[in-house]
């Protein structure tokens, strides 16, 4: 079986996520994908058990096949990571890893319209049991809602022009293919924008994918739930790939690292609170020059690490 995804910053993850070696330990890989990070950790630590979460059953089959040699030390779980940590009742966890990047598998093999370079159905669901598809968003959302989504989640400056063009085109017939949507976006933007550093459809496709899968909404509750599930001294590593994700992670960690939860206007602390975590990376770790040359998408990756107090 071929594995197409490159797992970023494996050396840095291994440097910070070190399980106890004198007893059995537990790690949760919240975004297992094809299992690159999990395979590395299971190979390195013979007493480690990994619960591998993924909402996509298709890519999870690839991870199961990859991890066969580890037997019961790898436990696949079909779920969204925020659902997993909602009221978690399992065994204490030593390590948690989030890699929020979308797997290359989804662009090259899933046939769900993640890539504007192919003619595929506009689906974009990471979990094909989810009710909302990209086609439904494109063909049923109001022009204002479309524009807001493309601007908010894609940080696309021509969001209103793109939303207007989509709504005008869908009057003729539903937009069903990724290639159709790419063509509409390409024609909607100014000529000077068509030949920039990235394809003019990139940000809009990102925005639709985020909306369909509610990706940003899941991050903060998952992080807070993961901190609760950790044993004292346990660590969480999270890799983000764009500013929207990283901003949520940064401010969630800052909030959890505060000792006092009293209102800012209160002159004296009365809550007696204690910080839940210690932030180990004051600034995010970025990929090395060597790695970015081998895998250009790793240029945008940022790694943050915390430890539970």
Instruction: Decide if domain 10-105+218-308 falls under CATH 3.40.50.150.
Output: yes
As a whole number of angstroms, the longest Cα–Cα distance in the chain is 66
Is pLDDT above 90 for 65? yes
Confidence of residue 118 (pLDDT cuts 50, 70, 90): confident
What's the confidence (pLDDT) of residue 1?
56
Q: What is the mean pLDDT of the chain?
A: 93
What's the confidence (pLDDT) of residue 10?
93
Domain ranges in the chain are 10-105+218-308, 112-213
286 token code pair: 């970025």
What's the confidence (pLDDT) of residue 5?
64
Confidence of residue 220 (pLDDT cuts 50, 70, 90): very high
**Mean pLDDT to the nearest integer, 46-58:** 96
Describe the crossing of helices 143-154 and 159-172 by its angle, rounded to 10 degrees. 140
What's the confidence (pLDDT) of residue 104?
86
Q: How far is CA 276 from CA 78, 165, 224, 291, in A?
A: 28, 48, 10, 33
What's the confidence (pLDDT) of residue 297?
82
Same fold, 10-105+218-308 and 112-213: no
Residues forming a β-bridge with 282: none
Its pTM stands at 0.92
**Mean pLDDT to the nearest integer, 150-159:** 97
DSSP string across the chain: -------TTHHHHHHH----SSS-EEEEETT-TT-HHHHHHHHH-TTEEEEEEES-HHHHHHHHHHTGGGGGGEEEEES-HHHHHTT--SS-EEEEEEE-SPPHHHHHTS-SS--TTS--BS---SSTTSS--HHHHHHHS-HHHHHHHHHHHH--TTHHHHHHHHHHHHHHS---BHHHHHHHHHHHS-GGGTTSSS-TTHHHHHHHHHHHHTHHHHHHHHHHHHHHHEEEEEEEEEEE-SHHHHHHHHHHHHHHT-S--S-TT-SS--S----SEEES-SS-EE--HHHHHH-GGGGG-EEEEEEE-
What's the confidence (pLDDT) of residue 45?
96
Q: How far apart are the first and last CA of the chain?
A: 42
What's the confidence (pLDDT) of residue 36?
94
Q: How many CA atoms lie within 13 A of 90 on its CB side?
A: 16
What's the confidence (pLDDT) of residue 136?
98
Interatomic CA distance for residues 293 and 98, integer angstroms: 23
Confidence of residue 273 (pLDDT cuts 50, 70, 90): confident
Interatomic CA distance for residues 194 and 201, integer angstroms: 9
Residues forming a β-bridge with 307: 235, 278
**Mean pLDDT to the nearest integer, 110-127:** 93
**Mean pLDDT to the nearest integer, 217-224:** 98
Q: What is the CATH number of domain 112-213?
A: 1.10.150.170
Percent of the chain with pLDDT over 90: 83
17 in Cβ contact with 45 (< 8 Å) = no
Q: How far is CA 248 from CA 65, 84, 101, 156, in A?
A: 33, 19, 15, 19
pLDDT tens per residue across span 165-202? 999 999 999 999 999 999 999 999 999 999 888 999 99
Is pLDDT above 60 for 3? no
Is pLDDT above 70 for 2? no
Select from 121, 126, 125 the least CA-distant residue to 111. Answer: 121
């Amino acid at each position: 079986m071929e594995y197409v995804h490159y797992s970023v910053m494996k050396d840095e993850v291994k440097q910070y996520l070190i399980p106890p070696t004198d007893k059995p330990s537990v790690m949760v890989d919240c975004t297992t994908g094809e299992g690159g990070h999990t395979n590395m950790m299971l190979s390195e630590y013979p007493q480690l058990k990994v619960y591998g979460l993924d909402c996509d059953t298709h890519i999870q089959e690839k991870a199961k096949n990859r991890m066969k040699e580890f037997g019961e030390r790898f436990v696949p779980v079909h779920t969204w990571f925020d659902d997993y940590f909602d009221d978690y009742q399992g065994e204490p966890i030593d390590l948690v890893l989030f890699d929020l990047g979308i797997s290359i598998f989804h662009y090259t093999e899933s046939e769900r319209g993640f890539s504007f370079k192919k003619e595929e159905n506009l689906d974009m669901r990471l979990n094909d049991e989810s009710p909302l598809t990209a086609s439904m968003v494109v063909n049923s959302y109001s022009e204002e809602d479309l524009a807001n989504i493309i601007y908010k989640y894609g940080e696309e400056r021509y969001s209103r022009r793109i939303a207007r063009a989509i709504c005008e085109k869908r009057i003729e017939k539903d937009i069903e293919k990724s290639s159709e949507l790419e063509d509409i976006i390409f024609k909607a933007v100014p000529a000077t924008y068509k030949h920039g550093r990235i394809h003019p459809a990139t940000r809009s496709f990102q925005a639709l994918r985020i909306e369909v899968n509610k990706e940003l909404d899941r991050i903060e509750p998952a992080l807070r739930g993961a901190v609760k599930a950790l044993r004292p001294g346990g660590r969480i590593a999270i890799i983000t790939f764009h500013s929207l994700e990283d901003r949520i992670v940064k401010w969630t960690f800052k909030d959890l690292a505060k000792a006092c939860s009293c209102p800012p206007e209160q002159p004296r602390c009365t809550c007696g609170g204690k910080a839940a975590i210690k932030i180990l990376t004051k600034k995010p770790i970025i990929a090395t020059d060597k790695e970015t040359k081998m895998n250009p998408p790793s240029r945008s990756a940022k790694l943050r690490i915390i430890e539970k107090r």
